[in-house]
């Protein structure tokens, strides 16, 4: 389709050439005059500003540092509430206890009334095997270092033979023994560990002492019998020198008592047949 020919326009002003129109070649556009960008100036200014600020900040820091060195140090701030407490210094572990010294055997003897000093271990317990061949009263008392009685070991009439504890009822090892007798007598003191072991059943006709290594394994009760006419006493010793009395009767007896779990030693006083039986 042919475009209509436009009417002639007004004459072009001098210097502009032919006007743009249909059928005329379009001259290339005149490039605009380049303008100088502004961002290099902005960046440069920012760099200079930062450099100036940095120099000023450094000087400020140095000034504050010098002032801080001349200033009085501030008081320490209290610890924050959630700060962990300081650990206490570790306590050194306790030294292991030295092994117990087994007391040596001590023997004393005589005839009739006599007071004899003995050198026993202060903290030791003993089993004393005592004999007497007289016919009248026979008495053995334990004395302390001042000569005062601290325990009655034996009080019988006539011939006597049996084992008794020494240093348990008295709470200390005696310094001497006072004997009242009309015949020959003998006392052999051995370390308590030399006493026989109670295995759950025992019998005899004389006073006796037994070690109890594990009372809980033996049972919860103990049954005792006695067929003699004199005193019948069954005594126990536990932890912390605790003393318990299972039986204290005269003449024939049969009965049952609780067996403490901390029982360590059983002592029997009798002048006739007796039996002991642990019961579960």
Query: Is 30 strand, coil or helix?
Result: coil
Average pLDDT value for the chain: 78
Contacts of 84 (CB under 8 A, 6+ apart): none
For residue range 218-255, list pLDDT tens digits in order. 999 999 999 999 999 999 999 877 899 999 999 999 99
Contact by Cβ (8 Å): 277, 220: no
Please state the pTM of the whole predicted model: 0.65
Q: Rounded to an integer, what distance in angstroms lies between the CA atom of residue 266 and that of residue 209?
A: 6
Contact by Cβ (8 Å): 46, 39: no
For residue range 162-193, list pLDDT tens digits in order. 999 999 988 889 999 999 999 999 999 999 99
Q: At residue 50, what are phi and psi to the nearest 5 degrees? A: -65, -40
Instruction: Kindly tell me if the per-residue pLDDT of 150 is higher than 80.
Output: yes
Highest mean pLDDT among 80-84, 137-141, 170-174: 137-141
């Amino acid at each position: 389709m042919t475009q209509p020919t436009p009417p002639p326009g007004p004459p072009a002003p001098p210097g502009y050439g032919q006007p743009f129109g249909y059928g005329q070649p379009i001259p290339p556009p005149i490039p605009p005059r380049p303008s100088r960008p502004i961002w290099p100036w902005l960046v440069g200014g920012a760099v200079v500003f930062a450099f100036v600020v940095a120099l000023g900040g450094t000087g400020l820091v140095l000034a504050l540092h010098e002032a801080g060195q001349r200033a009085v140090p501030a008081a320490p701030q209290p610890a924050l509430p959630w700060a962990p407490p300081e650990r206490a210094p570790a306590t050194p572990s306790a030294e292991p206890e030295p092994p117990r010294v087994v007391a040596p055997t001590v023997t004393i003897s005589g005839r009739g009334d006599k007071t004899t000093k003995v050198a026993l271990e202060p903290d030791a317990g003993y089993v004393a095997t005592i004999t007497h061949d007289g016919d009248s009263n026979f008495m053995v008392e334990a004395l302390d270092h001042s000569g005062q009685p601290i325990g009655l070991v034996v009080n019988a009439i006539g011939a006597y033979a049996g084992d008794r504890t020494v240093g348990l009822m008295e709470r200390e090892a005696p310094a001497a023994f006072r004997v009242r007798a009309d015949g020959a007598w003998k006392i052999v003191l051995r370390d308590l560990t030399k006493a026989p072991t109670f295995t759950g059943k025992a019998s005899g006709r004389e006073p006796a002492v037994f070690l109890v290594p594990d009372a809980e394994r033996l049972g919860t009760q103990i049954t005792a019998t006695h067929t003699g006419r004199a005193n019948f006493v069954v005594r126990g010793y536990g932890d912390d020198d605790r003393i318990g009395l299972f039986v204290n009767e005269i003449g024939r007896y049969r009965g049952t008592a609780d067996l403490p779990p901390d029982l360590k030693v059983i002592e029997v006083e009798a002048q006739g047949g007796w039996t002991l039986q642990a019961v579960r």
